[in-house]
Amino acid sequence: MPPVEVIDLRNELHAGNTSIISRRLQEELARVLENKQQAILFLNRRGAASCVLCRDCGYTVMCEHCDIPMTYHSTERILLCHYCGLQSKVLQFCPQCKSSGIRYFGLGTEKIQETIQRLFPEARLLRWDRDTARNRRAHEQLLDRFAGREADILIGTQMIAKGLDLPGVTLVGVVSADIALGLPDYSTTERAFTLLTQVAGRAGRGAEAGQVIIQTFNPQHFCIETASHHDYHEFYKMEINSRYRYQYPPFRHFVKFTYSHENRQRCQNEALLLYDRLKQWIERLGLAETDVVGPAPALMERMRGKYRWQMIVRGPDLHQLLRVIEAPEWEIDIDPVSTI
């Protein structure tokens, strides 16, 4: 595996570099271009800005059908919801206070593309995400173009993290490892470690040596430290100890219940009713060390026009409970990969 260098973005800010591309990554990109080699820049977020808000009143542009902010896409000059596909025009004035204080914040693959083109005007760039590759044929065309040396730098999301064998790539840059670690889920660090090690493996697959640069504001995080050393055993040891401490899978089984409806109050009422029934069943069956977490709104409470409430049952053995559960209107996920 290629050597990995971790860049502390806090030091970049202290040195006066406010760019999303560190000085070290800029140096390596310049080297790649000078030597007629190729580079991959990875960021697991699409768009040019992940948040559109008003500086004067704090209004955030949200999707009408989902409980998430709209993402700005500069190429099409639209606001897009990545969950339901809703599109709207770019705002010039704030709908709430009518001021012209609308600003675009955050980071996405489009923003990276714009920044790299500004830093290296001569570089030939390709962007590979769901917006540029909507079907299998589009994926194949992008891969063929990059493999055919029609571009110097490939900028993409997790779809470029594995399965690509490109001998010309000598540099992989992870623009922000922190995005992968930002989700409130028990399996977040496992997924982040997998993603980092997979994308690192895209560098140096040909005759030339490879180099990987990971940018982060949290270089001491054990996921980043172990990924940078390709230390699978140490990561497993630390992750499994953490899961044992908090009784996460595989030390407890999880069952996730999700209720969806257009009416928010009905979601809450149904969730409270099922919670009471679950507690009664657990008590009747004498299920020791079994509890119910929630109910509560889902992390993204509203999606595609429906509100969502969730709860999780945790326990060492939930077979008896699953046999007696009667919740026909609920989505039941046994041992979910994610609790979000």
Note the pLDDT of residue 109: 83
CATH class held by domain 253-334: alpha beta
Note the pLDDT of residue 251: 92
- The position carrying tokens 């920044």 is 115
Burial 154-166 (b: 16+ CB within 10 A, else e): bbbbbebbeebeb
Question: Average of pLDDT values for 164-176?
Answer: 85
SS3 sequence, 132-173? Answer: CCCCHHHHHHHHHHHHCCCCCEEEECHHHCCCCCCCCEEEEE
Least confident piece of the model among 15-19, 101-105, 125-129, 150-154: 101-105
Question: Average of pLDDT values for 315-320?
Answer: 92
Residue ranges per domain, the chain? 4-47+106-244, 253-334
Per-residue confidence at 88, pLDDT binned at 50, 70, 90?
A: confident
Residue 243 to residues 81, 237, 252, Cα–Cα distance (Å): 33, 10, 9
E strands, 51-115, in order: 51-54, 71-73, 78-80, 87-89, 102-105
Domain 4-47+106-244 classified CATH 3.40.50.1000?
no
Note the pLDDT of residue 48: 47
Residue 191 to residues 56, 158, 213, 216, Cα–Cα distance (Å): 38, 11, 19, 16
Per-residue confidence at 67, pLDDT binned at 50, 70, 90?
A: low
Percent of the chain exceeding pLDDT 70 equals 90
- Whether 47 has a pLDDT exceeding 60, the answer reads no
Query: Which residues, 6 or more positions from 291, have their beta carbon under 8 angstroms from its beta carbon?
Result: 282, 313, 314, 315
Query: Which residues, 6 or more positions from 322, have their beta carbon under 8 angstroms from its beta carbon?
Result: 255, 334
